[in-house]
Structure 1
Amino acid sequence: MKNTKKKNKSGSRGFILFLLGPFCVLHLIFTIFPAVYSFVLSFFKYRGYGEAKFIGLENYKNLLGMSSTWRQMGNTMIYYFSHLIPCLIIGFILAYAVYNMLGKRSQRFYKPIFYLPQLCATVAASMVFGVIFGTNIGVINQLLGTKIPFLTNLNYIKIPVIVLIIWRTMGWYFLILLSGMSTVSTDLLEAAKLDGANRIKQIRYVVLPVMKPIISFLIITETMSSIKIYTEPALVTNNVTATSMPIAAAPFVNVIVSNLDGGQFGMASAAGWILFGVILIFTLIYMAVFNEKGGI
Structure 2
Amino acid sequence: MSRAVAVCHGPFGRVSIYALDRPLVLHAHREAHLIFYLEGGCGLVNVNGRAFRADPFMGAAVNPWEPHSFMPESCGACGLFLVVYLKPEWLAAQTMTPPGSLAFPSSELVVTRELAAWRDKAVEMLLSAHRELNLAPVLMALAQASSEPIGPGLASSLIHLPAECTIDRRVQRACRLLEEHTSYEHVLAYVAREAGLSRAHFFKLFKEQVGVTPTVFANTVRVDAALDRIVLSHEPVTSISARLGFSCQSVFTRFFTAHMGMSPSDYRRALRTVGLTPLQVAHG
Ranked by relative contact order (alpha carbons within 8 Å, sequence separation 6 or more), the top structure is 1
More helix, by proportion? 1
TM-score w.r.t. length of structure 1: 0.21
TM-score w.r.t. length of structure 2: 0.22
